[in-house]
Structure 1
Amino acid sequence: MTRPVYLDYNATTPVDPQVQATIAEVLQETFGNPSSSHVYGQQARAVIERGRQQVADLIQAQTSEIVFTASASEANNLAILGTACARQAQGRHLITSAVEHPSVLQPFNYLQQQGWELTVLPVDEFGRVDPGDLEQAIRPDTVLVSIMHANNEVGTIQPIEAIAAITRQHGIPLHVDAAQSAGKIPVEVNALGADLLTLAGHKFYAPKGIGALYIKEGIHPNPILFGAAQERGQRTGTENVPYIAGLGVAAQLARAQLDHDATALRNKRNRLHHALLDAIPDLTLNGHPDQRLPNTLNVSFPGVEGKSLLEKASDRIAASTGSACHADSDEVSGVLGAMGIDVQRAVGAVRLSVGRPTPDAEIDSAATALIDAWQACLSAGRTGSR
């Protein structure tokens, strides 16, 4: 049986063969505890530090500024909860945006329940924050701003450099969730102006279960896990040596192939978009037409529900209507709602995200499958209404 074309790379990526080989080698040969002082521990520590250097190189950071975590969600929680608690004597006001990932919004909601004040910035019709809105929202007691680099549903890239210029002027730490952008577009912490930045291994061909948080020198979040002093006391727990090694190789590959991959992804995405537009003239793009991840295509199919369309095409393509974290929900995407998109258009939305391994032949096959499914859904709707 032919497997459906995979168009859900924003949900997760397959593990790169070189990453797999590295993990297998470390699992077999480097079993020591990296906190042990003997040779087995030293070998494991050397693997971790090599991975740390590779991740630091990807985002142009210092190795001392990289903390490994079990996921991007954990990194986001550490950045938000840890920084807020560390700075609470200076104020208890926080700022984020309406289109953040749940692993950002939920920690903020928790803090709000604990008595903190939270300002949620609106976005425009493309899903972008207006830096002027941030400027107006900042107060003397603001202690943290968290704005994602690129949105996981529509791919819109935020004006982080302009946002960072404002937070820096006010002396407020800026956390940037770069889980979706790292490996697809340049993510350099100094150029962006980020004080904390989150990475997700499984979004750029490393395994699930490994992430990292960049913490700029001089920023000191409180730990949110308690135990021994691994990762310089920022994240307790014996490090996942094989997955850190894999994350390092994935980061090294992403850095080496960034320009080539970005161009190839953009060409694949546009090929798919144009094929759909040729057959469905009323197809509507959701997200910014230019300031968008090169692999991401979020479109609304007219006259049908996106969920029904994907069910109709499920034997030929694998995609989603939005964030994988909400895949089982029948609710309209909160991201599209924040962008002011009407319910009918939002209901017809589908997120299609291509990846490094996606061949052009699969792009063409997927386009045909989506067009066929759209026509079948329209036909079924007309029949059912009689």
Structure 2
Amino acid sequence: MSAPLYLDYAATTPADPRVVEPMMRHLSMDGVYANPASRSHMPGWLAEQAVEGARRQVADLINADPREIVWTSGATEADNLALTGYMRANRSRGRHLITSIIEHKAIVDTARALETEGFDVTWLTPERDGTISPACLSAAMRNDTVLVSLMAVNNELGSVNDIAALAAITHEGGAHFHTDAAQAAGRLALDVEAMGVDMMSLSAHKVYGPKGIGALYVKRDPALRLEALIHGGGHERGMRSGTLPTHQIVGMGEAFAIGLDERERDGAHVHALRERFLTGLSELDGIHHHVPRESSIPNIVNLAFDDVDGESLLMALRGLALSTGSACNSASVEPSYVLKGVGVPHLQALASIRFSFGRFTTREEIDTAIEEIRRALSSLRASAIQVSNSH
């Protein structure tokens, strides 16, 4: 059997070959394999040098100081550290956290866990286009608000928040601002200073790097304190202990360096793919794009299909690797909580599929996907009519 055509880049990206090669050099005996915390010998120094070089590459993508980059196992851990670590360290100042109902599960579930610890969470409702309005955030701010966490780009819709405006409102209220930028890195221009971000979660595997490695940007500010979640050695400015995986860190650094250099090229490429995809489907009836093109990144397209069930359509599109929503929520038979959160009707949410493109997607693959969708829709709708007529 041939492998299905991969259109699930929002779930994960394949590692770029230019990332894999330097990673391999940091695994075996003939490479740089030592523990980067072993500072008593040259192999350890070389490993530390590789880690710090990658730290600078990650920092460069978001215009940060390398000392503000804390390595984690991924954006999920970074989100947990940002929310739980911050709220626990600052409970004497206030216990109020603000987030939204359509954040990634790593934020939603962490915020719910914090509620069981006695913290108070306000859950903002987004606009129909999947964004949080500054007015909505402003109305939710309280005297005891200490942290606001709102994602830069939604992983199911592709909607883009005005992070600079949201961070400004947060700071006016005396709180700190965190954003999950896993889907934004390498796709949007990120500048933590210009955006006014205090913490930012990042992931390598969304930017053509390896899985299992991520980072949390933590602004160097004496007033910004985090309580460590993982103890055992005081690594990473005391925020995250554990032996650093040099090969994964090198891979993340290289992926982010390529992402910085090729962001505009990648953006133009996926924009052309999206336009080709939507144009190819435009003659078909009963297809709804959940987010306007102008308010979303081009590599994520979430569509609803009238008169079909999303899971049935997925099965009919077995030649395409797709999802009905976030990979972190794919076991659920319920409609996506993100789609419900922006007001998509129940049946339409059930009939929705996320298509996501990337650096290695070709025009020919887009054309193949269009033909597959046309065929599957025609077959499923014809079957539905037959069943209806038989009754």
Shorter chain as normaliser: what TM range? over 0.9
The reply to whether residue 33 of structure 1 matches residue 35 of structure 2 is yes
Shift of residue 383 of structure 1?
2.5
Which blocks of at least 5 consecutive residues in structure 1 are unaligned? none
Task: Within 5 Å, give how 1:355-370 maps onto structure 2.
Answer: 355-370=358-373
Rounded Cα–Cα distance in structure 2 between residues aligned with 1:270 and 1:131: 30
Rounded Cα–Cα distance in structure 1 between residues aligned with 2:266 and 2:33: 34
Counterpart for residue 3 of structure 1: 3
Give deviations 1:17-69, integer Å, cap 9, x for gaps. 01100110111211111111211111110000000000000111000000010
Counterpart for residue 177 of structure 2: 174
Amino acid of the structure 1 residue aligned with 2:285: P
The reply to whether residue 293 of structure 1 matches residue 314 of structure 2 is no
Amino acid of the structure 2 residue aligned with 1:119: T
Counterpart for residue 123 of structure 1: 126
Counterpart for residue 254 of structure 1: 259
Shift of residue 184 of structure 1?
1.2
Give deviations 1:104-153, integer Å, cap 9, x for gaps. 01111011011111100111111111111111111111111000000000
The reply to whether residue 339 of structure 1 matches residue 354 of structure 2 is no
Counterpart for residue 103 of structure 1: 106
Shift of residue 326 of structure 1?
1.4
Counterpart for residue 206 of structure 2: 203
Give deviations 1:323-347, integer Å, cap 9, x for gaps. 0111121101111111111112111
Residues 127 and 288 in structure 1, CA contact (< 8 A), matched pair in contact too: no
Rounded Cα–Cα distance in structure 1 between residues aligned with 2:344 and 2:105: 20
Counterpart for residue 61 of structure 1: 64
Q: Which stretches of structure 1, 4 residues or more, deviate above 6 A after TM superposition?
A: none
Residues 129 and 295 in structure 2, CA contact (< 8 A), matched pair in contact too: no
The reply to whether residue 145 of structure 1 matches residue 139 of structure 2 is no
Shift of residue 183 of structure 1?
0.9
Question: Could you say what secondary structure the match of 1:244 adopts?
Answer: helix
Counterpart for residue 354 of structure 2: 351
Rounded Cα–Cα distance in structure 1 between residues aligned with 2:157 and 2:309: 17
Question: How many pairs align?
Answer: 384
Shift of residue 240 of structure 1?
0.7
Question: Could you say what secondary structure the match of 2:50 adopts?
Answer: helix
TM-score (norm 1): 0.98
Which blocks of at least 5 consecutive residues in structure 2 are unaligned? none
Rounded Cα–Cα distance in structure 2 between residues aligned with 1:89 and 1:119: 19
Rounded Cα–Cα distance in structure 1 between residues aligned with 2:383 and 2:235: 58
Rounded Cα–Cα distance in structure 2 between residues aligned with 1:273 and 1:318: 18
Shift of residue 187 of structure 1?
1.6
Amino acid of the structure 2 residue aligned with 1:215: V
The reply to whether residue 283 of structure 1 matches residue 263 of structure 2 is no
Rounded Cα–Cα distance in structure 2 between residues aligned with 1:380 and 1:101: 36
The reply to whether residue 322 of structure 1 matches residue 325 of structure 2 is yes
Change in Cα spacing, 1:288 to 1:98, as seen in structure 2 (3 Å) is farther
The reply to whether residue 221 of structure 1 matches residue 226 of structure 2 is yes
- The RMSD of aligned alpha carbons is 1.0
Shift of residue 287 of structure 1?
1.8
Counterpart for residue 13 of structure 2: 13
Question: Could you say what secondary structure the match of 2:82 adopts?
Answer: helix
User: Identity, % of aligned pairs?
Assistant: 39
Name which of structure 1's ranges 235-244 and 168-177 shifts more when overlaid on structure 2. 168-177
Residues 310 and 373 in structure 1, CA contact (< 8 A), matched pair in contact too: no
Rounded Cα–Cα distance in structure 2 between residues aligned with 1:58 and 1:214: 11
Rounded Cα–Cα distance in structure 2 between residues aligned with 1:60 and 1:7: 30
Rounded Cα–Cα distance in structure 1 between residues aligned with 2:313 and 2:280: 17
